[in-house]
Amino acid sequence: MTACGSASPDAPRQLGRPRDPKLDAAILDATLRLLADGGYTALTIEAVAALAGVGKATLYRRFPGKEQLVIEAVATLGEPPERVRGAGVRDELVALLESIRRKNDSSLASKIFPRLLSAGAENPELMRRYREQVLDPRRARFIAVLYRGVEQGLLRADVDLAYAVDLLVGPMVYRHLIRKEPRPGPELAARIVDDVLYALAPRRSCHSSEQT
């Protein structure tokens, strides 16, 4: 996860002035900032250098070009998710969904998200890294909680958990990404979770007919 051209342990740099690690951070941060409000193609190396307060040579010393720069920057977006343990399955799912909503209401990451969706078409590697670092870990958390839901008999044993995640996350992301008005409120997460859990719960045989 260090910058591209960083010294490998096998060939430790000994001579001369060492690279300033703070500059790596400044460059990646500037990259994310510019990526957020301009998109991939609008992002220029010169703007990154200027915003980071860094010479272009310093930047090119670390990254071979825009593509690798953005890939490395995006890879830093992964974050340890907030802990909500202790609560029940239902409340934990609500908390996870709600954290998506809150994040999309303000953060840098939310602005970068649609940019990557577009840039990912030409840059599979870029999308892959983002998926691995950001999307997959979040997804794994959902799956884990849902699995506990199965164990506790809250969900049918035969439900496809990946599908269940789609049912939960899909509407929330859709609201933020596409149908932005009116802004979803904090009650949306609970609503989605309750409806989805109800749909996937073990069904008592008291309803007269099978599915239509």
Partner DNA sequence: GACTAACAATACGGTTGCGTCTCGGAAGAT
Partner DNA sequence: ATCTTCCGAGACGCAACCGTATTGTTAGTC
The site for a copy of itself (CB under 8 A) is made up of 37-42, 88, 90, 111, 114-115, 117-122, 135, 139, 154, 163, 166-167, 169-175, 177-179, 191-192, 194-200, 204, 206-207, 211-212
Residue 68 binding DNA, by CB under 7 A:
no
Q: Considering only the stretches 51-59, 135-143, 186-194, 196-204, report the one whose residues sit in contact with DNA under the rule CB under 7 A.
A: 51-59
Task: Give the nearer residue to DNA in terms of CB position, either 45 or 75.
Answer: 45
Task: Give the nearer residue to DNA in terms of CB position, either 23 or 165.
Answer: 23
Contact 46, 52 (CB under 8 A): no
- Give the whole-angstrom CA distance, residue 126 versus residue 119: 8
- Give the whole-angstrom CA distance, residue 211 versus residue 45: 57
| 212 binding partner (options a copy of itself, DNA, none; Cβ < 5 to 8 Å by kind) | a copy of itself
| The binder of DNA chosen from 53, 88, 170, 186 (CB under 7 A) | 53
Task: Give 3-state DSSP helix, strand, coil % of the chain, rounded to 5.
Answer: 60, 0, 40
Rg (CA), the chain: 22
Task: Give the nearer residue to DNA in terms of CB position, either 70 or 161.
Answer: 70
Residue with tokens 């904090």: 186
| 19 binding partner (options a copy of itself, DNA, none; Cβ < 5 to 8 Å by kind) | DNA
3-state secondary structure 146-180: HHHHHHCCCCCCCCCHHHHHHHHHHHHHHHHHCCC
| 78 binding partner (options DNA, a copy of itself, none; Cβ < 5 to 8 Å by kind) | none
DSSP state of 131: I
Q: Which two tokens stand for residue 138?
A: 């979040």
Contact 96, 188 (CB under 8 A): no
Q: Considering only the stretches 59-67, 100-108, 158-166, 187-195, report the one whose residues sit in contact with DNA under the rule CB under 7 A.
A: 59-67
Residue 44 binding DNA, by CB under 7 A:
yes
**Residues of this chain that bind DNA (CB under 7 A):** 13-20, 23, 43-47, 49, 53-58, 60-62, 65-66
